[in-house]
Structure 1
Amino acid sequence: MPMPQAGDKAPGFSLPDQSGATVSLSQFKGRHVVLYFYPKDATPGCTTEACDFRDEHSTLVKAGAVVLGVSPDSVASHQKFATKQGLPFSLLADPDHALADAYGVWGEKSLYGRKFMGLIRATFLIGPDGKVVRVWPKVKVAGHVAEVLSTLQGGASADAPAPKAPAAKKAPAAVKKPAAKKAPAAKPAAKSAARKGARA
Structure 2
Amino acid sequence: MLPKSTLPAMTLVAALATGVFCCELANATDATPNRQRAEPEVGRMAKEFRLEAVAGKRSGEVSLSDVTGEAPVVVVVLRGFPGSQCPACAGQVADLVKHARHFRQRNIEVLLIYPGPAAELKARAEDFLQDSKLPAPFTMLLDPDHSFTQAYGLRWNAPRETAYPTTIVIGKDGKIDFVNISRTHRGRTTATTVLDQF
Class of the TM-score when normalised by the shorter of the 2 chains: 0.5 to 0.7
Residue pair 2:48, 2:63 contacting (<8 A) in 1 also: yes
The structure whose RCO (Cα within 8 Å, separation 6+) is larger is 2
2:155 maps to 1:106: yes
- Of 11, 27, 45, 2:66 maps to 27
TM-score, length-scaled by structure 1 = 0.66
SS at match of 1:18: strand
Question: CA deviation digits over 1:77-107, x for unaligned, max 9?
Answer: 2233335343222111112101011211113
Partner of 2:122: 75
Shift of 1:71: 1.8
Higher helix share: 1
Residue pair 2:96, 2:190 contacting (<8 A) in 1 also: no
Match for 1:82: what amino acid? L
SS at match of 1:54: helix
Do the aligned partners of residues 128 and 103 (structure 1) sit closer, same or farther apart at CA in structure 2, a change above 3 Å counting?
Answer: same
The CA RMSD measured in Å over matched residues stands at 2.1
- 2:168 and 2:125 map into 1 onto residues whose CA distance is 20
Partner of 2:40: 4
Question: CA deviation digits over 1:14-71, x for unaligned, max 9?
Answer: 1111156111111111411000101025421111111111111120121221000002
SS at match of 2:144: coil
- 1:21 and 1:34 map into 2 onto residues whose CA distance is 19
SS at match of 2:88: helix
Match for 2:74: what amino acid? V
Residue pair 1:60, 1:66 contacting (<8 A) in 2 also: yes
Higher Cα Rg: structure 1 or 2?
1
Gaps of at least 5 residues in structure 2 are 1-35
Give runs of aligned pairs for residues 81-160 of structure 1, distance below 5 A.
Answer: 81-88=128-135, 89-109=138-158, 118-138=162-182, 140-141=187-188, 144-152=190-198
Gaps of at least 5 residues in structure 1 are 110-114, 153-200
Partner of 2:28: none
- 1:116 and 1:58 map into 2 onto residues whose CA distance is 34
Residue pair 1:75, 1:92 contacting (<8 A) in 2 also: no
Question: CA deviation digits over 1:117-169, x for unaligned, max 9?
Answer: 5310011100000111110111623x6221111112xxxxxxxxxxxxxxxxx
Residue pair 2:54, 2:142 contacting (<8 A) in 1 also: yes
